Structure 1
């Protein structure tokens, strides 16, 4: 049996104010071609199908089109909710969807009830573990003394192992889980799932399983041969600029895990970083190659440039983030009380202007400030 391990689609995600639906459909829609080309039997999505608990209509429609294409390409689909999803909403009409080959495993109480499939070697049990919010899950699982993610996931896997032990000996097993497993490398785009400062769980909880398809961390990672993160299909922060986005093609043979191969995904719009003075960045022909990229720009001008992002976007249409770090640094930081002690309103304001842009107000700007103070004084007197 061949499985395609994916996760963290985050359909509906916005990147620095930019809608990503077009890019998401370009990548996710292409998974159907991969299913057909590689003769994939099952696609698993290990959490965070959507980016928010109540996705908008456009995100729902896109996700529906992608899932329909996967089914039309010949694959069953198994989905579990992540910490961004609403399990209740995602699981709505799950019983009807299963009849069409879409298995929505969203109920904590049912996590030891697998999706059962079969190939020429016998049965395969796919256990979908929804994201386990510890305070809620420990009561649903009947372990009120369990603490943190490690406690509830350990109980979840105990139930899975007990169910698997009661099945025929040739039953192979796959677990979908959305968690932070020790040894994984995070990025800036995952929402923390820490409870009381503890979010990690040991990979040993998945011992005895043929393959654990992990979700939550956005970088593709191999923690053990049978224990992997597929990562997100697109980069959702500039910390992921160096990621190679991919999915895992998993082969189950008669004796269990027979092999895992990486399949790289297309990049509809790459991420890039630029650093330098604004004028030089706008004029330098060496930057032509990144004009179509999402860009994060670090400006080194001694004086903060005015309207920097708009000016950058005149050349770099997809510049979405600007940070000003003047060459040589800025003045030493002072406490607020030290900044204002013994100074007039005009002096405090002028110091503020100089601090935020590394340059004092011009004579014309100073005249406007004085005019504003005079107007404010007249209003206060009235």
Structure 2
């Protein structure tokens, strides 16, 4: 059986205030073409179909269009809910879908396989939706040993016990689909909205033992934890932290004996992401503009002082500049004296102004020209006070 493993579509997610619907539609069209060209039997979407529990109507339209196009290829679809999805809404939407599209959102069904046949017999697909311990305790008060389910690791371990029982009752090759943070992954800092508290909700990879293939979601970059346990990542870049990570899916051939042969299918990037670092003038150089005028740009300028209206000026050259940050190349190490301490020791107004400028400029006081202006202003004020 040929399976395409994808995840984390995040339909409706914005990119620094910009809609991603059109870009995602373009990428999903390419994914549908890959399904058709590679004669895929089953498409897996491992959670976070939507980015919000309350997606806009346009998000449902995009999902419906993508699923209809996948259905027309002849492939079946197995989709689970992730931590961003509303399981109730996604589950209700599933009732409106056509045959061959399976949506798993109810934790109580994790041990009940979706069976899809090929020439070598049945393949059992066990969908495990995102499991929030506080919510699923109403169904599973405790694990097999009587321990309350307090972490996602415990909860997934219990769910996989139900899955293995389902494997025993339904012999055949098996595929598990789950949405979690598995041990050993390399997450994108600041991007994957953590579903863990410290480290207690990291799920050991061994929890998934017994399945022929495990299709995971939640991490936005391609990851191979074992030959049989993988993350596909998101089909679109949603952060500058992802800019160097490929977008795509795993094309998995599941042999008659349960063997796994997986290869990566890259997806197109509608608009490249680039981070430009240097002085403001260097970032605006003709060479940079010629190379990156059509890219999403994160500009990190290293000038000593903040620029005036940097975003407006950048967008005159880079229409798709999405983020600007000021990170001075030279910073002065902070002294033990606080700003308040400097003010207490200041004697004159000039001292107070110097202390303020040093505080807001990471230790750098006024320039010589600024010192002249400060003296002129203070002299004028003193003269005015005398005249009054």
Q: Residue 318 of structure 1: CA displacement?
A: 1.2
Counterparts in 2 of 1:347 and 1:61: CA distance versus 1, 3 Å: farther
Per the alignment, in what secondary structure is the counterpart of residue 225 of structure 2? strand
The corresponding residue for 1:199 is: 201
The corresponding residue for 1:42 is: 42
Q: Aligned pair 1:29/2:33, yes or no? A: no
The range that moved more, 336-345 or 65-74, is: 336-345
The range that moved more, 327-336 or 110-119, is: 327-336
**Contact residue 270 and residue 294 of structure 1 kept, 8 A:** yes
Counterparts in 2 of 1:96 and 1:300: CA distance versus 1, 3 Å: closer
Among 190, 193, 198, which residue is 2:192 paired with? 190
Q: Aligned pair 1:121/2:123, yes or no? A: no
Counterparts in 2 of 1:35 and 1:364: CA distance versus 1, 3 Å: farther
Q: Aligned pair 1:147/2:146, yes or no? A: no
Per the alignment, in what secondary structure is the counterpart of residue 312 of structure 1? helix
**Using the alignment, how far apart are the partners of 2:371 and 2:48 within structure 1?**
54
TM-score by length of 1: 0.88
Counterparts in 2 of 1:93 and 1:28: CA distance versus 1, 3 Å: closer
The corresponding residue for 2:253 is: 251
**Contact residue 289 and residue 318 of structure 2 kept, 8 A:** no
**Contact residue 339 and residue 356 of structure 2 kept, 8 A:** no
**Using the alignment, how far apart are the partners of 2:284 and 2:149 within structure 1?**
57
Q: Residue 341 of structure 1: CA displacement?
A: 3.5
Q: Residue 317 of structure 1: CA displacement?
A: 1.2
Q: Residue 209 of structure 1: CA displacement?
A: 0.3
The corresponding residue for 1:299 is: 301
**Using the alignment, how far apart are the partners of 2:278 and 2:270 within structure 1?**
26
Q: Residue 61 of structure 1: CA displacement?
A: 1.5
Q: Residue 284 of structure 1: CA displacement?
A: 3.5
Partner deviation per Cα, 1:301-356 (whole Å, 9 max, x = no partner): 12211111111111111111111122221463654533554669998687556644
TM-score by length of 2: 0.87
The range that moved more, 7-16 or 86-95, is: 86-95
Counterparts in 2 of 1:196 and 1:275: CA distance versus 1, 3 Å: closer
The corresponding residue for 1:71 is: 71
User: 5+ residue gaps in structure 1?
Assistant: 371-382
- What is the aligned residue count? 367
1:151-190 superposed matches below 5 A: 151-168=154-171, 171-188=172-189, 189-190=191-192
1:267-286 superposed matches below 5 A: 267-286=269-288
The corresponding residue for 2:81 is: 81
**Contact residue 339 and residue 355 of structure 2 kept, 8 A:** no
For the aligned residues, what is the CA RMSD?
A: 2.6
The corresponding residue for 1:376 is: none
Partner deviation per Cα, 1:114-168 (whole Å, 9 max, x = no partner): 2111011111111110001122223322416123111000000000000110123
Per the alignment, in what secondary structure is the counterpart of residue 200 of structure 1? coil
The corresponding residue for 1:9 is: 9
**Using the alignment, how far apart are the partners of 2:332 and 2:16 within structure 1?**
26
Among 327, 330, 338, which residue is 1:328 paired with? 330
Among 317, 320, 328, which residue is 1:318 paired with? 320
